[in-house]
Structure 1
Amino acid sequence: MDATTQATGDEQETREPVLDTVDRVSELCFGLFMALTFVGAVSAVTAGEDAGRKMLASALGCNLAWGLADAVMYLVRTLTNRARRLTLALTIQQERNAAVAVAALRDALPKALKTLIADSELEMIRARLAATPLLPARVHFVRDDFIGALAIFLIVVISTFPVALPFVVFDEVATALIVSRALTLVMLFGAGFALGRFSGAGGMRAGLSMMTVGVVLTMAIIALGG
């Protein structure tokens, strides 16, 4: 195995997922809340033959639009952040005064980290950046950016079905509403559980907290006529 092959293999093994747990759960909750709010608002005025399919089509159309908008904004956010990092790297590389370059690196740090990282550590980063050859002149999209945008779109759209599909399965709107809201709460619990496990805060506690948010939102929708 040559050095290139080994480097490629190492990169594949350490490659981070396109969307992390927070991204995936956040988009799922966003889609659920959008569909829940839309179904709650429309269910009161949707009646008659084929009302369930009309409800599903309406909610799906809503989340298709929002999923597309969210996917596009993900691309915008990704390219903007990448451009910001490249600008910083080019600034550090071109700055002849090491102290000024270190100060620029410190300014770019999150506030919570500024007191935890010494100038000597930033100097090592500055030196590596200064020695890095051939930084790109501009940023561009890569394949994973579009995969991430597609994943966001699909998560938002797929989250429509647990909320709206019961209106197709059940003839009684009241029954469909109960099943829809129950499924939503189960999914919210799962989303909160995943976030809790990811953050180390405790899956059960986070799951119950997220489900409580769903209960409060559902009560607000009912109070508003949903």
Structure 2
Amino acid sequence: MLTTSIDPHAAEARPRLLDTVDRVSEMCFGLFMALTFVGAVSAVAAPADAGRVMFHTALGCNLAWGLVDAVMYLVRTLTERGRKLSLVKAVRSASDPSEAIARLRDALSPPLRTLVADAELEAMRSRIARSTDWPEKPALRGQDFLAAAAIFGIVVLATFPVALPFIVIHEVPRALLVSRVLTIVMLFGAGIALGRHAGFGGWMAGVAMTVLGIALTVAIILLGG
């Protein structure tokens, strides 16, 4: 999907490393991964050291998947940046303005294609043609690595509210209760954040995210995750 502006400077001027959707998605990913181990503990007669083993296993899993997710974020960022740069080069090398406008329109998402007039695309084409500071090839920047580090940190930190009660509380049933309460609170908070970001009711979104999260966790456990 083509953004509203593909100016190279505007594209890099991000006020935050990750937007609300990214942060909530990564938090939920780490949360669900940890919940699969909590479900495993609750499904068997837990030995004395089950909580500690579960915590270390869940933490190790989220460390690994946090690293994978961070690396894939960098791959996705580099790929998207290369796709935009290829579009710019195609527009600049087009034989006539109509061909360049057609390329820009093809890059738009289907809902936007009928909303953006040729005059607006021509203005964008003119700005691209006049600009001389486009890079020769896509590259990652310092802010991209900071965002990847933030993704890694969010996934790993999501382990602790779910798994840490089994280290602090030695009675497994009570630790399970605390873990589940914290999980519900986190899912509810994630739903509120998404709801407010999308512009609709935060409380209803919180309830919906909680129900969805519980359903996903049950499905993950039943599927052997």
Report the alpha carbon displacement of residue 48 of structure 1 after superposing the two structures with TM. Answer: 3.0
Distance 1:55 1:20, change over 3 A: same
- Aligned position for 1:208: 207
CA shift, 1:41, in A, is 2.2
In 2, distance between residues paired with 1:218 and 1:84?
A: 35
Q: Quote the RMSD (CA, aligned, Å).
A: 2.1
Q: 2:220 and 2:78 mapped to 1: Cα distance?
A: 37
Q: 5+ residue gaps in structure 1?
A: 1-10
Match for residue 32 of structure 1?
Answer: 31
Q: C-alpha separation between the residues in 1 aligned to 2:62 and 2:156?
A: 5
1:44 Cα deviation from its structure 2 partner: 3.7
Deviation at 1:222, TM superposition (A): 7.6
Contact kept? 1:67, 1:156, Cα under 8 Å: yes
Contact map agreement 1:21 1:195 (CA 8 A) in 2: yes
**Deviations 1:164-219, CA, capped at 9 Å, x for gaps:** 01111222212211211111110000001000011101110111100111332455
C-alpha distance after superposition, 1:55-101 (max 9, x if no partner): 11010001111101100100000000000000001111121310000
The 4+ residue runs of structure 1 with deviation greater than 6 A are: 221-226
Distance 1:218 1:95 in 2: 50
Deviations 1:2-47 (A, max 9, x none): xxxxxxxxx8xx6421100000001001111111012212444573
2:120 alignment partner AA:
E
Alpha-carbon distance between aligned partners in 2 of 1:39 and 1:66, rounded to the nearest angstrom: 17
Identity %: 61
1:186 is matched with which residue? 185
- Separation in 1, partners of 2:224, 2:41: 9
SS at match of 1:154: helix
Q: TM-score scaled by structure 1?
A: 0.88
- Equivalent residues of 2:91, 2:100 under 8 A apart: yes
Look up the match of 1:150: 149
Residue pairs, 1:97-136, within 5 angstroms: 97-136=96-135
Q: Provide the C-alpha distance between the structure 2 equivalents of 1:196 and 1:173, rounded to a whole number of angstroms.
A: 34
Q: Unpaired segments of 5 or more residues in structure 2?
A: 1-9
The amino acid across from 2:168 in the alignment is V
Q: Which residue of 1 aligns with 2:81?
A: 82
Partner residue of 1:96? 95
Identify the residue that residue 139 of structure 1 maps to in structure 2.
138
TM-score by length of 2: 0.88
Report the Cα distance in structure 1 between the residues aligned to 2:118 and 2:186, rounded to whole angstroms.
46
Cα offset, 1:52, TM superposition? 1.9
- Is the contact made by 1:94 and 1:130 (CA closer than 8 Å) also made in structure 2? no
Contact 1:44 1:225 in 2 (8 A): no
Say whether the 8 Å CA contact 2:78–2:140 is kept in structure 1. Answer: yes
CA separation of 1:224 and 1:30: change in aligned 2, threshold 3 A: closer
